[in-house]
Amino acid sequence: MQQSQRISTGMFLFLFILLNLTALGTDKEKGKTDKDRATIAPVKTNYYHRPHQYIALKLGALGVGVNYAYTINKLSGVRFGINYFGFGTDQEMTLAGANFNVDYTIQNMSIEAYYEYFPFHKKRGRLTNFKRNFKFVMGLTYFAYVKYHAKAYRMNGVVLNGTEYSPSEIGDVVATVSTNRVAPYLGLGSAWNVPNKRRAKYQIGFDLGLIYHGKPRVNLVGTNFLEGNSEQQEQVESNLSFFQFYPNLSVKLIYRLH
C-alpha cells in the first residue's frame, strides 16, 4: 500500500513539473514581439524577379540603331542591337605646294551582343532611378560592313617639261583603312525614368565605353604620276596606330514592353 502511494505521489510530481515547463514556454512565446520574430526569420538572398523586356532607339558614335534588352534577374541582363553609320564629305588641302581635293567616305554597320550587370540592385532601401539603372556593360561588337575610304586628286593641271597634264592624267591616291571585324566592348551606362516613377514605361538612357578593334591596316594605291605614293603605306599605318579603340557614346529612348 505504501509503495502504491509513493508511485502515485511520484507521478503527480512529474506531471506537475511537466505542466509548469509547458506553461513557461508558452509565456515566453507570448512575450515575443513581431520585431523579435522578424529578427529570427531567415533573410532571403534570392534576386529573382519577373523578367522585363525593352526596346530602344539610339543615336551615337555607331550611328543610329535599335536595341532589344532582356533582364534575366535583378542583377543582370542581355542586350542585342544593330547600328548604321554613314558620313561623307570633301575637303581642299595643300600638299607639297599643290592644291588637292580629298573625298572622305565612312560607313559601317555593326551588330552588338552585350551582357549588363546592375550592381546597385542588391542594395536595400530607396534608390534613385539613375542609381537603380546604373550598369556595367561588356560584350562583342561585330562590324558586318566597314568602309573607311579617302581619295585625293589634284584640282588643277601641271606643266612638266613644256607639256601640260590635266588632273585626270596626273592621277589620284586612294587610301582604304580596315580593322578587326569582331571587337570586344567594355563600358557603363544608366537611364532616367520618364516620368520619374519606378515603373515608368519610358526611359532616357546613355552608354559610354570603348570598342577595341585593333591596329588599323592601310591600303594605299596611287595611279599615273602619283603611283609612287604607294610606298608611303607603312608610314600612314604608323601614323594611325593610336586609333585602336573606337569610342562609343550614345543616347537612347527606351520603352519597357512589360
User: pLDDT-based confidence at 230, cuts 50/70/90?
Assistant: low
Backbone angles phi, psi at 254, to 5 degrees: -110, 140
User: 222 - beta bridge partners?
Assistant: 173
pLDDT at residue 224, rounded to an integer: 84
User: Where do the DSSP E strands lie in the chain?
Assistant: 53-60, 63-71, 76-95, 98-117, 135-154, 158-160, 163-165, 172-178, 182-194, 202-212, 217-222, 245-256
**Domain residue ranges in the chain:** 2-40, 53-256
User: pLDDT-based confidence at 211, cuts 50/70/90?
Assistant: very high
pLDDT at residue 27, rounded to an integer: 47
pLDDT at residue 14, rounded to an integer: 46
Q: What angle do CA 122, 35, 40 make, to 5 degrees?
A: 70
- Per residue in 113-160, pLDDT (tens digit) is 999 999 887 666 677 778 888 999 999 999 999 889 888 888 777 777
pLDDT at residue 40, rounded to an integer: 47
CB within 8 Å of 16: residues ≥ 6 apart: none
pLDDT over 50 (residue 212): yes
Mean pLDDT along residues 161-190: 88
- Per residue in 12-46, pLDDT (tens digit) is 444 444 445 444 444 444 555 555 554 545 445 44
Q: Domain 53-256 falls in which CATH fold?
A: Porin (2.40.160)
Q: Is 135 helix (H, G, I), strand (E, B) or coil?
A: strand
Nearest to 241 by CA among 209, 224, 218: 218
Q: Which residue has the higher pLDDT, 199 or 191?
A: 191
**Euclidean distance between CA atoms 79 and 52, whole angstroms:** 12
* Whether 67 contacts 55, CB under 8 Å: yes
Nearest to 210 by CA among 59, 57, 62: 62
**Euclidean distance between CA atoms 258 and 244, whole angstroms:** 39
User: Looking at residue 161, what DSSP letter applies?
Assistant: T
- Per residue in 50-108, pLDDT (tens digit) is 678 999 999 999 999 999 999 988 889 999 999 999 988 888 877 767 788 888 899 99
Nearest to 62 by CA among 135, 114, 4: 114
Nearest to 142 by CA among 180, 179, 178, 182: 182
**Euclidean distance between CA atoms 129 and 196, whole angstroms:** 8
Nearest to 115 by CA among 209, 251, 44, 243: 209
The residue behind cell 582604304 is 176
